[in-house]
Amino acid sequence: MKNKLFCQSDQKSLADIIFHRRDIRGNNFSNTPLPQTTLDEILLSAQLAPSVGLSQPWEFVIIRDKRTKNIIAKSHQVESELAKTEFSDKKQTLYSQLKLEGIKEAPINIAVFYKPSPEPVLGKHSMPEMGEYSVVCAIQNMWLTARALNVGLGWVSILNPETVKATLNAPKENKLVAYLCLGFVKEFLDTPELETLNWHQREPLNLIEEKYSI
Amino acid sequence: MKNKLFCQSDQKSLADIIFHRRDIRGNNFSNTPLPQTTLDEILLSAQLAPSVGLSQPWEFVIIRDKRTKNIIAKSHQVESELAKTEFSDKKQTLYSQLKLEGIKEAPINIAVFYKPSPEPVLGKHSMPEMGEYSVVCAIQNMWLTARALNVGLGWVSILNPETVKATLNAPKENKLVAYLCLGFVKEFLDTPELETLNWHQREPLNLIEEKYSI
């Protein structure tokens, strides 16, 4: 299969998957269990992601246990109340109406860690963030693969990464990059919820030709 | 198109695109010019990426000018020599044989910046890295879209981000997340070059069920 070439139908499939990917929250997960084969396909796509110097610096923790989910959900609540105070009064009212995560509702949660290599890594010397960035590439592969399998994925960033690490007994050197919620959904919305609810609008791309003008 | 469902053929297309994506370097770019419509499709996929709080915190600088490329290529050379000294003598010999970027060979370079919002961003309070991570999601969308269009993309991280910023007159608050090389290729390899050349091997996925054991 050397030099595999893709055709218009492949290109259309990918463009549609990218267009229809959404962040899924607790108001939209169904309680249908997720088959192991589906989870395996999603994880395989992570394994095939690019990584700096082929270092594959990721670790995935699969969480199904309700007690664990409850502790993480509590951390979300605490951090969400703290974060809310950053916004204007008007935005705070809207913030309170938003459902921003599906930790308890999703059948599967996945904590995704960056695990730094003890050895030097090709390509990381002048940009040390490349390790974490590799993990994010893996997560985006998972997000698209989940969507193609008609499975919802939500990325929860409103929580305390140290609480997640402690709850999972994660090694000290690991860094939490993402906490993901995974499961079938009631529906995939056409438009991001934050846009529909007027939190923020989608914008044209910030594109500069050659150089910023000074 | 609400609740769009994907079928097996879409799933296979995506899985194949993910499997056949490669990092492309200067030994593999052809000098066929890239049509503007192709570049536009790749950039559109970036625009449709997930972003924390729908903040879309990205800026793209399209570089075609040879003088600009020469300055960036110089920065790569300097940083590459510095980075090489991290490795064992045996690895240094192999390192010297690797072609790690395609800055001058690729018809188009794209500098991708994270532009922090002056306003608070939903979802960033307890994990401030989420802004940069959103930009990486956009880059992975571009990488897969390029591959689907049979276009090569290479991510160069061996360079000085401050040199890139200064060369492009980028605003002070912007952070360089990636420097990408884009163009048609001579061939797409079946196996990552770093694996073929025995720099590093692909590994099984680091998967933990529920919790790390202590």
Which pLDDT tens digit goes with each residue over A172-199? 999 999 999 999 999 999 999 999 999 9
Task: Write the DSSP assignment of A22-91 as a string of letters.
Answer: -B--TTTB--PPPPHHHHHHHHHHHHTS--GGG---EEEEEE--HHHHHHHHHHHHHHHHHHHTTS-HHH
Q: Is the dihedral of CA B79, B80, B83, B89 positive or negative?
A: negative
What pLDDT is recorded for position B31?
87
Identify the residue among A5, A17, A132, A189 best suited for mutation to test binding to B, counting B beta carbons within 10 A and taking the highest.
A17
Out of B54, B120, B195, closest to residue A86 by CB: B120
Measured between beta carbons, which residues in chain B are less than 8 angstroms from residue A83? 122-123, 125-126
Chain A residue with the nearest C-alpha to that of B128: A157
Measured between beta carbons, which residues in chain B are less than 8 angstroms from residue A68? 210-211
Question: pLDDT-derived band of residue A206, with 50, 70 and 90 as boundaries?
Answer: very high
What does the pLDDT average to over A160-176? 98
A21–B4 C-beta distance less than 8 A:
no
Query: How many CB pairs lie under 8 A apart between chains A and B?
Result: 312
CB burial of B182-204 (b: ≥16 within 10 Å; e: otherwise) equals bbbbeebbeebbbeeeebbeeee
Out of B15, B16, B155, closest to residue A50 by CB: B155
Out of B127, B169, B192, closest to residue A214 by CB: B169
What pLDDT is recorded for position A3?
83
Measuring CA to CA, which residue among A78, A82, A84 is closest to residue A98? Answer: A84
**Beta strands, E only, chain B:** 58-63, 108-114, 152-156, 175-183, 207-209
Residue pLDDT, tens place only, A109-157: 999 999 999 999 999 999 999 999 999 999 999 999 999 999 999 999 9
pLDDT (tens place) for every residue of chain B, 214 residues total: 478 999 999 999 999 999 999 999 999 999 899 999 999 999 999 999 999 999 999 999 999 999 999 999 999 999 999 999 999 999 999 999 999 999 999 999 999 999 999 999 999 999 999 999 999 999 999 999 999 999 999 999 999 999 999 999 999 999 999 999 999 999 999 999 999 999 999 999 999 999 999 7
B3–A188 C-beta distance less than 8 A:
yes
Query: Which pair of structure tokens corresponds to residue A100?
Result: 């921003």
The overall pTM is greater than 0.95: yes
pLDDT at A101 > cutoff 60? yes
pLDDT at A1 > cutoff 80? no
What pLDDT is recorded for position B214?
79
Asked casually if ipTM beats, i.e. exceeds, 0.95, the reply is: yes
